[in-house]
C-alpha cells in the first residue's frame, strides 16, 4: 500500500479459508452422516465410500491441472469408456498367454491410449486455437460414439474367466486392510500436488491460467504447458480405467456417463478457480469424497429419495460457488 516498509510480522496473515473450506465441508458432512445413520462412520462404510470415489477422484485430479491452466475437458467420461473398451478388447485378444503379464500390458495400453486422447485434445486446443469447451465437446461425442461402435451397440466383456479372476483383486483386493483404489487416490493426489506446487512445470501451469500474456512475455511456452495438462488428464483417466475394468469386467456405451460433470464439480467444490490460475489438488480429492459421501448418506437415510442424488449434487456445486464468491469478497 505504501512505499515505506512497515515492520510487520509475516504470521499476521489471515487464515486461507478457501483452502480449508472443502475439508470443513467434508467434516460437517460426516457429522450429518452419523446423525442420519450411525453406520456411516463404520470402517467398512468409510472404506466403501472412498473406494467408490476412486474413479472421479483420479479423473478430477487431472481436471485440476486442465482447469488451473485455464482450460476445460468435457471429454473425460467418454474417454474413460473408450479407453476401457479398447483395453478390454486388448485383453480379449490374448496376445500374451500369461494372464498377469497380459493385464500388465493392458494397463500400459490404457495409459498410452489415455495420453494420446489427451494429446489430441491438447493439440487441437493449442495449435487449432479453439475454445477447449468446443474441442472437448467434440471429442466427447467422438469417444462416446467410437465406444458404442466398438461394442456394436452392446457391451464389451472380458471373455476369459481366467483373466477376469486375475484382474479382479485390483479393485476388490486389499493391502493392509485397505483396498488398492484407495492407494491409487493417495498416490495420484500426492504426485499431482507435488507436480503442481513444487515443480517449475506446475508453476508454469498456474502462471498460464492466471495470465497467459504474462506467461508469454516471461518466455513460457504456453501451448506446451496447456497441451501437457490435457495429457496429464488423459493419464488420470487411464488410471481410473485401470481400476474400473476389474469392477464390472465390461464396458458399455453408458460407461462413464456424466463423469465429466462430477469431475468438474469435484474440482470446483475443492476450491480450484474455474477460470484458472489457482488449483487445489487435495481440495479436489475432498470434493470427490464429498460427492460420494452425499450419495452414500442419502442411501443410508430414509427421508430423501436416492433418486434425488443428482439434484443434491447439483445444489452442492452452486452452493460451493457461492461460498467461493463469499470468501473472495473484498474486505
Partner 1 sequence: MQAFATGGAAARLADVADVTIDAAPKADVQGPVIETEAVSRAFGGVVVLSDISLKFRPGEVHAVIGENGAGKSTLMKILAGHLQPTSGRVLIGGEPIELTGPAEAERRGIVLVHQEILLAPDLTVAQCMFLGRELTTRLGVDDRAMNAKAAAALARLGCHVPPTARVNSLSIANRQLVQIARALLTPHKAVIFDEPTASLTPVEAGALFQLIGELRQSGVAVVYISHRLEEVKAIADVVTVLRDGKWIATRPAASLQPVEMARLMVGRDLEALYPQRPAKRAGGPALSVEGFVVDGAPEAASFELRPGEILGLGGLVGAGRTELLEAVTALRKGAGRIRIGGADIAFRAPRDAMRAGVVYLTEDRKGKGLILAEPVAVNLTLAALSRFSRGFGVDRAKESAALDKAISDFDIRINDKAMLAGQLSGGNQQKLLLAKMMLLDPRIVIIDEPTRGVDVGAKQQIYQFIARLAGEGRAVIVISSEMNELIGLCHRVLVMRGGRIVGELEGADITEQNIVMRATGVSDAGAQAPDANIRDAHA
Q: Which residues bind partner 1 (CB under 8 A)?
A: 1-6, 8, 10, 13, 194-195, 198-200, 203-204, 206-207, 210-211, 213-221, 277-278, 331
Residue number, 217 or 307, with CB nearest to partner 1? 217
Taking a C-beta distance cutoff of 8 angstroms, is the pair 55, 244 a contact? yes
Rounded least distance, CB 2 to partner 1, Å: 4
- Cβ neighbours for 300, distance < 8 A, ≥ 6 positions apart: 33, 36, 37, 39, 40, 45
Least Å distance between CB 131 and partner 1?
A: 15
> To the nearest whole angstrom, how small is the minimum distance from the Cβ of residue 216 to partner 1?
6
Least spacing, CB of residue 309 vs partner 1, in Å: 36
Cβ nearer to partner 1, comparing 135 with 220: 220
Burial class (CB in 10 A: 0-12, 13-18, 19+), 121: buried
Could you give the CA distance from residue 110 to residue 120 in angstroms, rounded to a whole number? 15
Residues sharing a CB contact under 8 Å with residue 146, sequence separation 6 or more, in sequence order: 82, 85
Closer by beta carbon to partner 1, 277 or else 323: 277
Strand partners for 250: 157
Q: How far is the CB of 212 from partner 1 (least distance, A)?
A: 10
CA angle, corner 150, sides to 145 and 155, nearest 5?
Answer: 100
Closer Cβ to partner 1, 54 or 196, answer by number? 196
Shortest Cβ 235–partner 1 spacing (Å): 16
User: For partner 1, which is the closer residue by CB, 6 or 15?
Assistant: 6
Q: DSSP code of 330?
A: -
User: Is residue 279 within 8 Å of 203, Cβ to Cβ?
Assistant: no
Q: How far is the CB of 301 from partner 1 (least distance, A)?
A: 41
What the block records as the C-alpha cell of 165 is: 479372476
Nearer to partner 1 among residue 208 and residue 298 (C-beta):
208
- For helices 281-300 and 54-68, angle between their N-to-C axes, nearest 10 degrees: 140
Pick 34 or 214: Cβ nearer partner 1: 214
Burial of 114 (0-12, 13-18, 19+ CB in 10 A): buried
Amino acid at each position: 500500500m505504501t512505499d515505506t516498509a512497515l515492520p510487520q510480522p509475516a504470521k499476521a496473515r489471515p487464515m486461507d479459508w478457501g483452502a480449508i473450506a472443502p475439508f470443513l465441508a467434508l467434516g460437517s458432512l460426516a457429522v450429518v452422516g452419523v446423525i442420519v445413520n450411525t453406520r456411516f462412520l463404520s470402517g467398512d462404510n468409510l472404506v466403501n465410500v472412498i473406494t467408490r470415489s476412486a474413479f472421479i477422484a483420479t479423473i478430477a485430479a487431472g481436471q485440476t491441472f486442465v482447469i488451473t491452466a485455464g482450460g476445460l475437458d468435457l471429454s473425460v467420461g467418454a474417454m474413460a469408456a473408450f479407453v476401457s473398451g479398447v483395453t478390454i478388447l486388448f485383453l480379449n485378444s490374448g496376445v500374451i498367454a500369461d494372464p498377469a503379464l497380459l493385464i500388465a500390458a493392458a494397463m500400459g495400453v490404457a495409459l498410452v491410449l489415455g495420453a494420446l486422447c489427451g494429446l489430441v485434445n491438447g493439440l487441437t486446443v493449442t495449435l487449432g486455437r479453439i475454445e477447449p469447451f468446443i474441442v472437448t465437446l467434440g471429442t466427447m461425442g467422438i469417444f462416446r460414439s467410437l465406444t458404442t461402435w466398438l461394442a456394436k451397440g452392446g457391451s464389451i466383456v472380458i471373455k476369459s474367466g481366467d483373466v477376469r479372476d486375475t484382474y479382479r483383486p485390483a479393485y476388490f483386493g486389499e493391502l493392509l486392510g485397505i483396498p488398492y483404489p484407495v492407494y491409487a487416490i493417495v498416490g495420484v493426489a500426492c504426485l499431482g500436488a507435488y507436480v503442481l506446487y513444487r515443480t517449475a512445470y506446475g508453476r508454469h501451469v498456474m502462471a498460464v491460467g492466471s495470465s497467459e500474456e504474462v506467461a508469454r512475455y516471461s518466455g513460457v511456452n504456453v501451448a506446451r504447458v496447456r497441451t501437457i495438462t490435457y495429457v496429464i488428464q488423459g493419464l488420470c483417466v487411464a488410471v481410473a480405467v485401470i481400476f474400473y475394468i476389474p469392477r464390472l469386467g465390461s464396458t458399455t456405451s453408458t460407461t462413464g456417463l456424466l463423469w465429466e460433470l462430477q469431475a468438474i464439480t469435484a474440482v470446483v467444490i475443492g476450491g480450484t478457480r474455474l477460470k484458472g490460475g489457482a488449483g487445489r489438488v487435495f481440495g479436489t480429492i475432498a470434493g470427490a469424497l464429498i460427492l460420494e459421501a452425499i450419495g452414500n448418506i442419502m442411501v443410508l437415510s430414509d427421508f430423501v429419495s436416492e433418486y434425488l442424488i443428482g439434484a443434491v449434487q447439483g445444489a452442492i456445486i452452486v452452493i460451493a460457488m457461492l461460498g467461493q464468491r463469499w470468501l473472495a469478497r473484498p474486505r
